[in-house]
């Protein structure tokens, strides 16, 4: 009797103190639950870190992949096709963005058209030559491209005349808003797919 009373008083004291004892099985079960909660929280934190890293890297790749461009005389902006670590300037004026495949940008000014014995503006000469050539100069210019397939494109007051064959592609870019034209040449069997990107990146300034 005294032993039972002592046992009951011990249980009552622990209950009053908030220290009710549990069987060993329940104690182990609680430890497992706490461990799972801890692991879940740690995994959640790691997932959050990974998500932040993915967003950061995506942002970096977006910045790095931004298209580089070439501005000519402060009037027109062109995308640089097949970007490189270095670029070359030559007489012409000529801008070379790639050597393999060869990609060149050349400015056609009024003096070049006058040398061809034409009084027209660069815009009118190029457009007339590929639409309805007039006179020896325009017919000669048009005939020099007979082996090319011609595609015309008008984009925001900028006209593109794209010519291509198996070996190379050319683009003549003119606009009534500027007093010069631009010739882009790509010497490569896959040049047409590259030069077609021009229509998306050209704009007047």
* DSSP of 89-120: EETTTEEEEEETTEEEEEEE-HHHHHHTT--S
- Each residue's pLDDT tens digit, 134-183: 999 999 999 999 999 999 988 889 999 999 999 999 999 999 999 999 99
- Burial (CB count <10 Å: 0-12, 13-18, 19+), residue 170: buried
Lowest mean pLDDT: which of 50-54, 131-135, 163-167?
50-54
Structure tokens at 54: 């993915």
Bigger pLDDT: 52 vs 112: 112
Residue 43 pLDDT exceeds 50: no
The distance of Cα 76 from the centroid of its chain, to the nearest Å, equals: 19
Three-state DSSP class for 181?
A: strand
Tell whether the model's pLDDT for residue 28 goes beyond 60.
no
The residues that bridge with 69 in the sheet, in sequence order, are 79
Scored b (16 or more CB within 10 A) or e, 125-149 reads: bbbbbbeebeeebbeebbeebeebe
Q: Is the pLDDT assigned to residue 109 strictly greater than 60?
A: yes
Question: Residues 182, 95: contact at Cβ < 8 Å?
Answer: no
69-204: CATH topology is Protein Transport Mog1p; Chain A (3.40.1000)
Q: Coil, helix or strand for 84? A: coil
Q: What is d(CA 76, CA 203) in angstroms, rounded to the nearest whole number?
A: 6
Burial (CB < 10 A; 0-12, 13-18, 19+), residue 63, is exposed
């Amino acid at each position: 009797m005294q032993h039972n009373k002592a046992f009951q008083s011990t249980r009552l004291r622990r209950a009053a103190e908030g220290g009710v004892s549990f069987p060993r099985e329940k104690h182990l079960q609680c430890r497992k639950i706490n461990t799972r909660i801890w692991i879940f929280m740690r995994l959640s934190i790691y997932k959050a870190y990974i998500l932040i890293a993915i967003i950061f890297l995506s942002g970096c790749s977006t910045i790095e992949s931004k298209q580089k461009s070439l501005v000519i005389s402060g009037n027109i902006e062109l995308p640089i096709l097949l970007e490189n670590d270095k670029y070359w300037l030559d007489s012409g004026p000529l801008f070379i963005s790639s050597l393999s495949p060869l990609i060149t940008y050349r400015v056609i000014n009024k003096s070049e058209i006058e040398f061809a014995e034409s009084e027209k503006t660069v815009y009118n000469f190029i457009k007339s030559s590929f639409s309805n050539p007039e006179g020896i100069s325009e017919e000669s210019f048009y005939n020099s491209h007979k082996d090319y397939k011609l595609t015309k494109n008008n984009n925001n007051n900028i006209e593109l005349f794209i010519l291509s064959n198996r070996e190379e592609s050319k683009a003549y870019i003119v606009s009534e808003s500027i007093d010069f034209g631009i010739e882009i040449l790509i010497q490569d069997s896959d040049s047409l797919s590259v030069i077609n990107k021009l229509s998306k990146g050209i704009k007047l300034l």
